[in-house]
Amino acid sequence: MLGMKRIFALLGLAIGLIAAALMLSASARGSVYILGILAGLGLLYGSYLIFRGKTSLLFGWAKTRTGALINLVLGVATLLIPGGVGGTASILAIVSGVLGFLAA
């Protein structure tokens, strides 16, 4: 049976992937391409670190915290920067970061 921390990591991964997909699709339609693309790719990497950190044997807590911090910072940045992606994708990125910290 999965432990609670792995469930949090799996949820953080899933929500982070949804947020990244929303940011990448919003950047394809909007006028700010670079910010959305970089934020989407950063969210993909942060979500990968959240999940991979919980399944890693060596320094897993550091990978999970780094991934959670990446998702949290990108979510807040895209929410607060004028002309950023914002909206649902940013809120989902923040939630993914919080779940990553719970998984650490």
The three-state secondary structure class of 86 is coil
86 φψ region: left (φ > 0), alpha (ψ -120 to 50), beta (else): left
Angstrom distance (rounded) from CA 42 to CA 75: 10
Q: Would you list the domain boundaries of the chain?
A: 12-103
pLDDT tens series, the chain, 104 aa = 568 888 998 999 999 999 999 888 876 665 657 888 888 999 999 999 888 887 666 666 787 888 999 999 999 998 888 766 778 889 999 999 999 999 87
pTM value?
Answer: 0.86
18 φψ region: left (φ > 0), alpha (ψ -120 to 50), beta (else): alpha
Helices (H), the chain: 4-29, 33-55, 60-80, 87-103
